[in-house]
Amino acid sequence: MNSFLQSLEDPARPFLGPNYWILKKMGLLLPKSILGKILYIFLHETVTFFVATQYMELYVIRSDLDLVLTNMKISMLSVVCIVKVNTFVLWQKHWREVLDYITEADNFERQNEDPVKSQIVEAYTKYCRRLTYFYWALVSTTFLTTTCSPLMRYLSSSTFRENMRNGTEPFPHIFSSWMPFDKYHSPGCWITVLWHTVLCAYGAAIMAAYDTCIVVTMVFFGGKLDLLRERCKHMFGSYGTVITDKQCEEVVRQLHGIHVMLIKYSRLFNSLLSPVMFFYMVMCSLMLCASAYQLTSAQNAAQKLLMAEYLIFGIAQLFVFCWHSNDVLIKNENMTSGPFESNWYTANYRQKKDVLLLSGQLRIKNIFTAGPFANLTLPTFINILKGAYSYYTLLRK
* pTM as predicted: 0.89
Q: Enumerate long-range contacts of 346-355, CB under 8 Å, 24 or more apart.
A: 346/236, 346/239, 346/240, 346/242, 347/236, 347/248, 348/245, 350/245, 350/248, 351/236, 351/243, 351/245, 351/248, 354/248, 354/249, 354/252, 355/235, 355/252
* Sites in the chain below the pLDDT cut of 50: none
Contact present, 67 and 173 (Cβ < 8 Å): no
Contact present, 103 and 15 (Cβ < 8 Å): yes
pLDDT value, residue 274: 92
pLDDT value, residue 386: 81
Q: How, if at all, do strands 369-370 and 374-375 pair? A: antiparallel
240: left (phi over 0), alpha (psi -120 to 50) or beta: left
Amino acid at 84: K
Of 319, 328, 320, whose CA–CA distance to 381 is shortest?
Answer: 319
pLDDT value, residue 281: 83
Contact present, 117 and 230 (Cβ < 8 Å): yes
**H or E element that contains 375:** strand 374-375
Q: Report the half-sphere exposure of 6 (CA within 13 A, side-chain side).
A: 3
pLDDT value, residue 271: 94
pLDDT value, residue 131: 93
pLDDT value, residue 326: 92
Q: What is the pLDDT of residues 196-210, one digit of tens each?
A: 899 989 989 999 999
Helix (H, G, I), strand (E, B) or coil at 370: strand
Query: Torsions phi, psi of 374, nearest 5?
Result: -145, 150
Of 266, 384, 274, 390, whose CA–CA distance to 318 is shortest?
Answer: 384
pLDDT value, residue 297: 66
pLDDT value, residue 300: 64
Contact present, 288 and 307 (Cβ < 8 Å): no
pLDDT value, residue 212: 94
Q: Is the peptide bond before 187 cis (omega within 30 degrees of 0)?
A: yes
